[in-house]
Amino acid sequence: MSGIVIRRRFALAALSLFAALTLAACGKQEPATSTTAPAAAPAARVYVVGTDAAYTPFESQNEKGEVVGFDIDVVKAVANKAGIEVKFVNTPWEGIFNALDQGDRDLLVSAITITDERRQTMDFSKPYFEAKQLIAVRRDVPVAKFEDIKTMKVGVQNGTTGDEVVGKLHGKSSGNIKRFESTPLALKELEAGGVEAVVADNGVVVHYLANNTGGGFKTVSDASFPVEHYGIAVRKGNAELLARINKGLDDIRADGSYDKIYAAHFGSAPK
């Protein structure tokens, strides 16, 4: 009996100690506002960057489990200029904006298109990349424009701009839109014949078709697809971090490192 009570007390004490430590740890993450000198020099703050690393060539995981890609190199270079430390954490697209909002991530880089709707809940850096939607279909299917896939089963990544664009053509709640948790999954389903078309960001579609399908598929563009710009996201109102990121972006453009990173991933310097 008493053993149980003691153990319970101990558990409670351990729990409150844990809570206190957690609070203390959280406190450390906020920029110092107190005027009293800290007892010891605080460890350098590491900014946690969320990325949905199933998006080659922008972000993926290599054999060693490291997150790599164009976006990653851009953020590393920006962080370097901004004098901040970053750590990349693979974060599923479905929960990525929430993870930022909740404070689990400080930054997001994930080929995220800057949209007015997203701007309401997060802040974006200056654009760092231009993209467009692109249709992928089997080579022998007569598709020349977006309208031509109107009656087809179309795969998209859930909650992306591709999803939005197809939603406009098919109607958001159309049963012909198949939503996948990642773009590669949608493209695999296209290969398997489960969907007849996929609409996704051009860079990822082109890369996937070139590396996976042995030439059985083609891409189709459409003049109605809007130009999209990728931005790095920070929590709404995090103006200090955003200013550093924007300055870093300016710096890597000015000193040619952006062009080098671009060429390393896309073969030539941006036009």
State in angstroms the smallest separation of the CB of 249 from ligand ARG.
Answer: 18
d(C-alpha 31, C-alpha 33), whole Å = 6
Residue among 81 and 128 whose Cβ is closer to ligand ARG: 128
Count of residues interacting with ligand ARG (CB under 6 A): 13
Contact between 111 and ligand ARG by CB under 6 A: the answer reads yes
State in angstroms the smallest separation of the CB of 228 from ligand ARG.
Answer: 6
State in angstroms the smallest separation of the CB of 122 from ligand ARG.
Answer: 12
Contact between 112 and ligand ARG by CB under 6 A: the answer reads yes
Contact between 97 and ligand ARG by CB under 6 A: the answer reads no
Token pair 């957690």 is found at 22
Grouping H, G, I as helix, E, B as strand and the rest as coil, residue 161 is helix
Contact between 56 and ligand ARG by CB under 6 A: the answer reads no
Contact between 191 and ligand ARG by CB under 6 A: the answer reads no
Starting at the edge strand found earlier in the chain, the sheet holding 177-180 runs 177-180, 154-157, 197-201, 133-138, 217-220
State in angstroms the smallest separation of the CB of 92 from ligand ARG.
Answer: 9
Of the candidates 44, 17, 16, 9, which has an alpha carbon nearest to the alpha carbon of residue 28? 44
Contact between 133 and ligand ARG by CB under 6 A: the answer reads no
Q: Angle at CA 119, nearest 5°, toward 265 and 76?
A: 30
Of 56, 125, 160, 202, the one binding ligand ARG by CB under 6 A? 160
DSSP strands (E only) in the chain = 46-51, 54-55, 59-61, 67-68, 85-90, 107-108, 122-124, 129-131, 133-138, 154-157, 177-180, 197-201, 217-220, 228-230, 233-235
Contact between 125 and ligand ARG by CB under 6 A: the answer reads no
Residue among 81 and 187 whose Cβ is closer to ligand ARG: 187
Q: Angle at CA 192, nearest 5°, toward 191 and 196?
A: 70
Question: Binding string, 192-221, against ligand ARG, x = CB under 6 A?
Answer: ---------x--------------------
Write phi, then psi, for 188 (nearest 5 degrees): -65, -40
Contact between 73 and ligand ARG by CB under 6 A: the answer reads no
Grouping H, G, I as helix, E, B as strand and the rest as coil, residue 259 is helix
Of 47, 49, 59, 205, the one binding ligand ARG by CB under 6 A? 59
Of the candidates 29, 47, 46, 232, which has an alpha carbon nearest to the alpha carbon of residue 123? 232
Query: First vs last Cα of the chain: how many Å apart?
Result: 76
Stretch that binds ligand ARG, among 12-20, 145-153, 154-162, 190-198 (CB under 6 A): 154-162
Span 232-261, contacts to ligand ARG by CB under 6 A: none
Residue among 226 and 256 whose Cβ is closer to ligand ARG: 226
d(C-alpha 45, C-alpha 260), whole Å = 28
Contact between 122 and ligand ARG by CB under 6 A: the answer reads no
Grouping H, G, I as helix, E, B as strand and the rest as coil, residue 266 is helix
By the criterion CB under 6 A, which residues form the site for ligand ARG?
Answer: 52, 55, 59, 93, 110-113, 157, 160-161, 183, 201
